Amino acid sequence: MDFLELVNFYIIPGLVIGSIYALGAVGITLVFAILRYAHLAHGDLATLGAFLALAVVTGFGISPLAALPIAILGTAAVAVGIDKVFYEHLRERPKIVTVMASLGIALMVRAVVQVIWGVDSESYVKGIVRPDVYFGLRIRDREIYTVIAMIALVGVLQVFLTQSKWGKAMRAMSDNPNLALLSGIDNKKVVMLTWIIAGGLCAAAGVFLGINTELKSMMGWNMLLPMFAAAILGGVGRVEGAVLGGLIVGVAEELSVLVLPSEYKAATAFAILLFMLLVRPTGLLRGKVL
Amino acid sequence: MKLKMLAIAGGLLAATALSTAGAKADVKIGLLGGVSGPIAAMAPAMIDAAQLAISQVNDQGGILDGETLVGVVGDSACNPQGGTDAATKAVNIEGVTAIVGPHCSGAVLAAAGSVTVPAGVTMVTPSGTSPEITGLDDNGMVFRTVPSDDYQGRALARTLREQGYEKVAVAYINNDYGTGLANAFKGEFEAQGGQIAGFAAHEDGKASYRSNLADLSSGGADTLVIFDYGDGTGLTILRQALENGFFERFVGGDGMKSDAVINELGTENLADYFASSPVGEASNALDTFNAAFTAVGGDPDAIFVTTSYDAAFMLALAIEKAGGDKAKVAESLREISNGEGEAILPGEWAKAKKLIDEGKAIDYKGAAGDHNFDVNGDVPGTFALFEVGAEGYEVVTNMK
């Protein structure tokens, strides 16, 4: 196997799927950092976002990329709504209660998607798109969009977190909730902001997964494990760590086919997750929470 | 206030329960299918076909002493857990007399092993095709109206060899269905002098299979044989293989003969795509079924509708023959279709019921075949290879 083949069929798909994992992992890591629990409905929120975009695409006949902002807003609103209706009542209870509740939310969100859009595979645009060749590299235009959009979204988020007043408030909540509350930070606004960002990133992950493959009602749930592996690998609470983790998990999954029988590909993320928890539970970039 | 509402709701519920209890008891059969999951696109037509058999029974005087036959639909989700859950609910809560389904082999094996065989409920799957089901230790309670993949895999291998395919790669889904079909295909293809240049299982539900495909194509095969579901991972694999030009030709098993493939990828991209599937042999019985199913708005060419219909109709006959006794259904199922007695065509419920009541032997001739079960509850079958034409799937050749 030559170098180009390795890049074309293993590294590039790995980076693309890794970017999608990264978008989800950033949301998981933020929820973990600020609210301190594992949010298991994350994958199904991504499914919802993808299908919201499908509704816009079929309803208005625009491209999925143009539908992305609407899907992001819609999913962010749903995420905030779910928090208000369900998670808020559990805030003072042990965190495991909320984790279990989020599993229930995952099933509910998926059921809603299945009721509205059915259980068949869908796609934004029918037919197939063959890749363009750049200097021997086979890349589809949508793969470029996916990686660029991920970098742009995370870049904006990073600037927001480090530069703006509310971003700083979120980081303060993550570092020390009690101190943050004492210094007058509005807990409720920070929580709401967290859900807006997490929900929006979920939608982006779902839409890009849908653009690159198909839309299925189980698409998000199947991504949950790799996304968690990415968040933990990068260090829980670190946005840049989640991006790094996502890319590593994505590429590792694809490369695993070279050494392992291909039926074990799905287990790669799980193996990475276990290995990191055993060897370096704080993650590559020294996460702040775990 | 809340309590009061609850009390009212409870009272209403009790009232409806009482009013139905006054009528004659219904005979229930479970219709377990992959309503959600990777064969979700196929399941509705299959369940409709089974419901057609049930409505024919009820239109022609009902079952036993004029009781109503009721089909209880359950979602087996095309996986072992879903199959077990749905079967448990059907057997323990609904109290079904027999079960049509589940649709997927893994679900059949799990439901049979943990629920229906211990409970003594007869099960007829219209689409569980894994060779594993043949050898299942089931006290003779698991049947199928669809031929085993052992036949299909070998027939497909012979047909491809006849058409001049020399070197193929095989990608199969890592479950009972994919593994059974792939192994049957591989054995026969190699025995016929063909070469398998890549043979790999894959897990369901990943977003990218390009590395798997690169690995499979590295053996130099120009044809990819896919044993997967065309509404699930199989679609993703086919799409990525087409987009990246890994192979020139594609051949799928019965699971790949899904409309989702045509709808999502487009007819123009599928000129080199073929799929095999069991077909009903041309017969009076098939024509009768086709006419009846078309009349209720069904598509008689949809996959597994004939086997689903036969499974439901035969179970109704067997329940009638057994006098409603759950324990005798399996035995009766063999008796109503063993090649001896007066021929019964699809829909001939009143005639069959009369003969059974008179104690005469009947022999059901189904839409999908004669269904004379062998000792394992299997039936032989006929298959055809399909291509994608303007009107959907069209027969290329019959497979032997």
Upstream peptide bond of B102 is cis (omega within 30 degrees of 0): yes
Nearest by Cα to B399 from B278, B280, B298: B278
Closest partner CB to A263 (pick from B36, B202, B266) = B202
The SS3 call for residue B100 is strand
A11 touches chain B (CB under 8 A): no
A119 touches chain B (CB under 8 A): yes
Q: Do the chains contact at B214 and A9, CB–CB below 8 Å?
A: yes
Q: Do the chains contact at B244 and A216, CB–CB below 8 Å?
A: no
The SS3 call for residue B309 is helix
A112 touches chain B (CB under 8 A): no
- Per DSSP, B63 falls in state B
Chain A CB contacts of B207 under 8 Å are 17, 20, 209, 212-213, 219, 222-223
Nearest by Cα to A215 from B228, B213, B235: B235
Alpha carbon B140 to its chain's center: 19
- Side chain identity at residue B111, one-letter code: A
Beta strands of chain A (E only): which ranges?
132-134, 137-139
Q: Each residue's pLDDT tens digit in chain B (400 positions)?
A: 555 655 555 555 554 444 444 445 789 999 999 888 788 888 999 999 999 999 999 999 999 888 999 999 999 988 999 999 999 999 999 999 999 989 999 999 999 999 999 999 999 999 988 888 988 888 889 999 988 888 889 999 999 999 999 999 999 999 888 998 999 999 999 999 999 999 999 988 888 898 899 889 888 899 999 999 988 889 999 999 998 888 999 999 988 988 888 888 888 889 899 998 887 677 888 999 999 999 999 988 888 999 999 999 999 999 999 998 989 999 999 999 888 889 999 999 999 999 999 989 999 998 888 888 988 889 887 888 999 988 888 888 888 7
* A to B CB pairs, distance under 8 Å: 117
Q: How buried is residue B246: exposed, middle or buried, by Cβ count under 10 Å (0-12/13-18/19+)?
A: buried
Q: Do the chains contact at A254 and B208, CB–CB below 8 Å?
A: yes
Q: How far is A248 from chain B (nearest CA, A)?
A: 15
A223, HSE (Cβ side, Cα atoms, 13 Å): 38
Supply the pLDDT for residue B303: 85
Q: How many CB atoms lie within 10 A of CB B249?
A: 16
Q: Taking the domains of chain A in order of start, what are their residue ranges? A: 3-120+139-279
Q: How far apart are CA B17 and CA B94, in angstroms?
A: 14
Chain A CB contacts of B204 under 8 Å are 222
For the segment A29-69, what is each residue's pLDDT rounded down to a tens digit?
999 999 989 999 999 999 999 999 999 999 998 999 999 99
Q: How far is A286 from chain B (nearest CA, A)?
A: 29
Q: How far apart are CA B302 and CA B37, in angstroms?
A: 18
B392, HSE (Cβ side, Cα atoms, 13 Å): 9
Can you give the pTM of this predicted structure? 0.80
What residues have CB less than 8 Å from B246, skipping those under 6 apart?
B213, B214, B216, B217, B224, B240
Q: How far apart are CA B167 and CA B192, in angstroms?
A: 12
Supply the pLDDT for residue B198: 92
Supply the pLDDT for residue B4: 60
Q: Do the chains contact at A121 and B211, CB–CB below 8 Å?
A: no
The SS3 call for residue A140 is coil
Nearest by Cα to B26 from B128, B124, B119, B94: B94
Task: Give A 128-187 residues with CB within 8 A of chain B.
Answer: 128-131, 138, 140
Residues of chain A with pLDDT under 70: 1, 288-290
Residue where the block lists tokens 């978008």: A23
A218 touches chain B (CB under 8 A): yes
Q: Do the chains contact at A131 and B210, CB–CB below 8 Å?
A: no
Q: Do the chains contact at B263 and A126, CB–CB below 8 Å?
A: yes
Task: Give A 260-279 residues with CB within 8 A of chain B.
Answer: 261-267
Closest partner CB to A119 (pick from B36, B205, B208) = B36
Alpha-carbon torsion (B388, B393, B394, B398), positive or negative? positive
Q: How far is A52 from chain B (nearest CA, A)?
A: 19
- Per DSSP, B253 falls in state -
A61 touches chain B (CB under 8 A): no
Q: Do the chains contact at B210 and A209, CB–CB below 8 Å?
A: no
The fold adopted by the segment(s) A3-120+139-279 is ABC transporter involved in vitamin B12 uptake, BtuC (1.10.3470)
Q: How far apart are CA A34 and CA A20, in angstroms?
A: 22
- Partner residues linked to B279 by β-bridges: B382
Q: How buried is residue B33: exposed, middle or buried, by Cβ count under 10 Å (0-12/13-18/19+)?
A: buried
Q: How far is B244 from chain A (nearest CA, A)?
A: 6
Which secondary-structure segment (H or E) carries B71?
strand B69-75
Q: Which of A9, A11, A44, A123 to mutate to test the interface with B (most CBs of B within 10 A)?
A: A9
Chain A CB contacts of B174 under 8 Å are 263
Supply the pLDDT for residue B8: 57
Nearest by Cα to A247 from A269, A277, A266: A269
Chain A CB contacts of B269 under 8 Å are 127-128
Q: Do the chains contact at B203 and A266, CB–CB below 8 Å?
A: yes
Q: How far is B39 from chain A (nearest CA, A)?
A: 8
Domains defined for chain B, CATH in brackets: 25-147+283-364 (3.40.50.2300), 150-279+382-399 (3.40.50.2300)
* Nearest-by-CA chain A residue for B77: A119
Contact criterion met (CB below 8 Å) for A47 and A20: no
Residue where the block lists tokens 């259904």: B329
Contact criterion met (CB below 8 Å) for A215 and A1: no
Chain A CB contacts of B218 under 8 Å are 1
Q: At what angle do helices B43-59 and B284-295 cross, to 10 degrees?
A: 100
- Token pair of A27 as six digits: 């949301």
Q: How far is B212 from chain A (nearest CA, A)?
A: 6
Q: Which of A17, A113, A121, A249 to mutate to test the interface with B (most CBs of B within 10 A)?
A: A121
